[in-house]
Amino acid sequence: MAEGDDGLVRCDACPVLCRIRPGKAGACDRYANCDGVLTRVDPLVVAERAERLVPFAEASADWNGEVLGPADRFVTGIGAGTTYPDYKPAPFVVASRHGDVDMVTVVSEGIFSYCGLKVKIDTDRYLGPEQARVLSDGAQIGHVTTAEYGSQMLALGGVRHLTGGSKREGTVTCRALLDLCNRAPVTVAVESGAEVVIEAGAPPVVDGETEERMRVGCGSATIGMFARQWHGHADEVVVVDDHITGVLTEHQAGRFLDMRPAGIRVRGRRSTPGRYFQVAEPGAGWGGTDISDPLDIIERIDPAAAWPGLRLLMVSTTGEDAAWYRLDEGLTPRPEAMPAPIAQAVARIAENCEPALCTVLFMAGAGGSLRSGVTENPVRLTRSVKQALTKVTCGGAPVYVWPGGGITFMVDVTKMPARSFGYVPTPALVAPIEFTMARADHAALGGHVASIVALEEVLAETRHATTPWDSATPWPGDRP
């Protein structure tokens, strides 16, 4: 809004309320003073789904090869602006038609103080103890959570780090979250653990080493998958793993194959037959343990069961580490060259490992003022979302809405258009959000019907940029 004769305008797009001089931008670099008018700097982003080609079977003799019909277009929240923190209608309430249904999409950029990231890092390496602090530029931005199947999970951000700590902690957290959401690499340090470079959709880099693959499974699962391929070529196989180390001849899979007990006893706490916990400390060695010599986990070799010439394979859950031994007359394992069938089976383990990647999920709650941009009675929007009458998207990308109260959602940032996220220095992240519903449902929930604008009018009168839509992703404009 204009502020007198000096040409200053006050930006009311967030609680900071910047006073912007002519030709300058506000603190977030999203709004500027253009000839005395508060202007959103970035263009509105419109997703475009390519026109449908005529299938060969439908083609007639006089078809000239042109596509049928106009492209589908969907107005995203990227570049839309916001009405936060007021009750005003969202910047765009767009009418369109999909099939035979009149639709409305309410488009806005949400300002999220209550937001964070769930980060999945595919690695067999030890990143740090559970609940350890995760640091960026020396400030805590989150913590380590549970280890899942071949992955380590981090929880980053959240209102505790954005606003509950020092000003610097909030600023550093906001910057790290913004970069990660926009798919830029961010280096974090895990307290009492590793340094990790995280980039959405890219392999993690742990202590300077790029991860290539996630483990095929725990040691027990690896035995279950590959026991038959080892049978007849090895007398015992020990699959080294930080969580569950497997011993083939004790394992159910070995018993199904009528394998002779080999008398190789490994360290750790025995769970069920052939499954051992805590064989070593976590680390960057074999199978996510701290060992570099796999023989270190052998507690003893039972002379009543083992025999000279026994063939022993020790292998990690990714196949990156493997060693072949034969027991001598004193029942001591001696390294030998790996036979071709065993080398092939080890390669099969590696082949079955998926590429290691970093997955970044943005998680936030759509609060009261954001919902007020859709309806004068916000709880009706929440109910409509839970009843699957309203579809929620972020930059057009599908989201997962959590059960329970509120509209708490998660979205994979790699499914969103590039650089979808911004920030405000409160600090908080700015993310696009869209609510799509039948026009009749919009009216029924008390929507801002008087603010509806036709899609064609938005495209004709608004500075916008189009982005192609990935055909593998559900089209956001389709009715939920």
28: tokens are 């977030």
Residue 436 in contact with residue 477, Cβ under 8 Å? yes
273: tokens are 């037959």
Give me the mean pLDDT over the 190-214 stretch. Answer: 96
Q: Which among 9, 289, 239, 263 is positioned nearest to 124, based on CA atoms? A: 289
Please report which residue ranges of 137-166 form alpha helices under DSSP H: 159-162
Give residue-wise pLDDT tens across range 209-242: 999 999 999 999 999 999 999 999 999 999 999 9
Output the CA–CA distances (angstroms, integers) from residue 101 to 92, 95, 388, 435, in the order listed.
Answer: 19, 11, 16, 16
pLDDT mean across residues, the chain: 91
Determine how many CB atoms are found less than 10 A away from the CB of residue 55.
7
Residue 290 in contact with residue 280, Cβ under 8 Å? yes
Q: Using DSSP, state whether 251 is helix, strand or coil.
A: coil
Residue 104 in contact with residue 95, Cβ under 8 Å? yes
- pTM here? 0.88
- Residue 466 pLDDT: 92
Residue 65 in this model has a pLDDT that exceeds 70: no
Domain ranges of the chain: 1-41, 42-113+367-468, 115-214, 219-351
Residue 189 in this model has a pLDDT that exceeds 80: yes
71, 72, 74, 78 alpha-carbon torsion, rounded to 10°? -30
Give me the mean pLDDT over the 345-368 stretch. Answer: 94
Confidence band, pLDDT 50/70/90 cuts, at residue 1? low
| Residues 201, 414: Cα–Cα separation, whole Å | 7
Task: State the DSSP H helix or E strand holding residue 224, giving kind and residue range, or none if neither.
Answer: helix 219-230
**Regarding beta strands 428-438 and 422-424, do their DSSP bridges make them parallel or antiparallel, or are they unpaired?**
antiparallel
- Residue 59 pLDDT: 45
Residue with tokens 């940029």: 465
| Residues 215, 147: Cα–Cα separation, whole Å | 13
Q: Helix and strand tally (H, E) in the chain?
A: 9, 34
| Residues 327, 265: Cα–Cα separation, whole Å | 14
Give me the mean pLDDT over the 256-272 stretch. Answer: 96
30-44, 74-88, 272-286, 294-308, range with the lowest pLDDT: 30-44
